Structure 1
Amino acid sequence: MVLADITGKTVLAIDVFAHSIKALINHLMDALEIQGTGVISTDIKWVLTVPAIWTDNSKQFMRKSAEKAGIQNDHLLISLGPEAASILCQYLSTEKLSSAESDFTMSKVGTKYMIVDLGGGTVDITVHEKLAGGCLTEISRATGGDCDGTSVDVEFIQLLTKIFGAPLIHAMKREQPETFHDLIREFETVKKDNYTIEEWED
């Protein structure tokens, strides 16, 4: 499988994923070294999350990419994104759960909640219930689709193309890729900001 950049140049997908994972590894290890922890990469159990709707082949691809990035197979765990998010929520205080009722707690046995994982590539939705002994059970099987942040980016680019014309957008991608990426990054920032309906109307 190959991926194409904005200029149309192709590269093996596994190389892109491996380099991305390697960059994350290096970033963490540099931070640990600065802090003087003495931790080395083989001390770490690496967990990579993947969309719940991914096939087994896609998960295996991620595992191979991680191994190519230098993570040993016995130090690697592939986890579904919604499951990882659900576990994280067990340790969050109610104050950090937006719009949660004052008496709501994730740790209470019998608590049922929906996990909506809005990612850049996919949206995954599942429902879990807290059991005794700190366990979780899946009430509703994870489902989702390609209605994600990247899809919004595509629509934004199509809108720009409609306004300014395809030749200009293609020329920007080809001749000024840094400018094009800056534009997309700025759009990403706007997407992440919290706006009320009134603010959008203004």
Structure 2
Amino acid sequence: MKLHKNKHLSITSLIEDITGKSALAMDVFSLSIQSLKDHLMETLEKRGTSMTVNDIKWVLTVPAIWTDAAKQFMRKSAEKAGIPGENLLIALEPEAASIYCQYLPTEKLNGADEGFTMSEVGTKYMIIDLGGGTADITVHEKQRDGMLKEVCQATGDACGGTSIDNEFFQLFVKIVGAPLMNSLSKNDPSAYLDLFREFEIVKRTINPNKKGKMNFTIPFVALDKLCKNTFEEDFPTTVSSCSLSDKICLRGDKMRG
């Protein structure tokens, strides 16, 4: 999403970690891709294959809403990671999902109408890719030659799972304030990441039929220390005096709300 939001994207663009330290975005993305590439090549070597990087057709998937500049940035990052440009294909994530779905036994899936299959000529279907940063949607129609026709242009918006994480962050801002949360991310990033990892686990258990309160573990020691240094009061006192005190409570190192 850092690439999607950057209107002036270039090879000199910077990206920040949660502590505020900057690095070249190109280096961050290329090293990430290189790690995946090297892991694959090591696995192939251990299995006794004689494959090289040039023997593989590499496909890099990107969100449908990304700009051409962001797609080009990813291509350059992959090439910097050691993937030959002539062997690299950039594909939209919902389109990749659509191709994968061609081989699903849809007649055996729950909720699928009897006899429905994506492999039948003339079948139209919608692929909705609900990811972390974006929600991408595309509609395809199966053609006689086995190809897929794009019924409408792939679209979507920046409303993936991380948008819920942002609301979770704002919840804590209401409890302890933005300066303290920013201080937690910069001075104790491990505690900050633990908080969001725990929220991620709880978030996956939520469904439309679930009711009642939920519990999740918080980095109590780190938050308590910051509250004492910042407000000269412990974390439970800060929680009890915030605007959400009637909706949330503490039970040891767990928050319930």
TM-score of the superposition, structure 1-length normalised?
A: 0.90
Q: Match for residue 201 of structure 1?
A: 212
Give the one of 133, 143, 147 matched to 1:131.
143
Larger Rg, first or second structure (1 or 2): 2
Is 1:113 aligned to residue 113 of structure 2?
Answer: no
Aligned positions of 1:104-183 closer than 5 A: 104-183=116-195
**Is the contact between residue 133 and residue 162 of structure 2 (CA under 8 Å) also seen in structure 1?**
yes
Q: How many residues align?
A: 201
3-state SS of paired residue (1:197):
coil
Query: Distance in 2 between the 1:179 and 1:95 partners?
Result: 46
1:91-114 deviations in Å (ceiling 9; x for gaps): 111267552223211101111110
CA contact (8 A) 2:14 2:22 kept: yes
Q: Is the 8 A contact 2:185 2:192 kept in 1?
A: yes
1:20 to 12, 25, 32: 32
SS at match of 2:33: helix
Contact 2:107-2:115 at 8 Å conserved across structures: no
| Greater relative CO (CA pairs within 8 A, separation 6+) | 1
* Change over 3 Å in CA distance of 1:77–1:128 after alignment to 2: same
> Share of identical aligned residues, percent?
60
Given the two structures, how large is their TM-score scaled by the length of structure 2? 0.72
Quick check: 104-113 or 174-183, which moved more? Answer: 174-183
Select the structure that is richer in helix: 1
Classify 1:37/1:60 alpha carbon distance in 2 versus 1 (closer, same or farther; 3 Å).
same
The amino acid of 2:93's aligned partner reads G
Unaligned stretches of 5+ residues in structure 2: 1-12, 214-257
The one-letter code of the counterpart of 2:56 is I
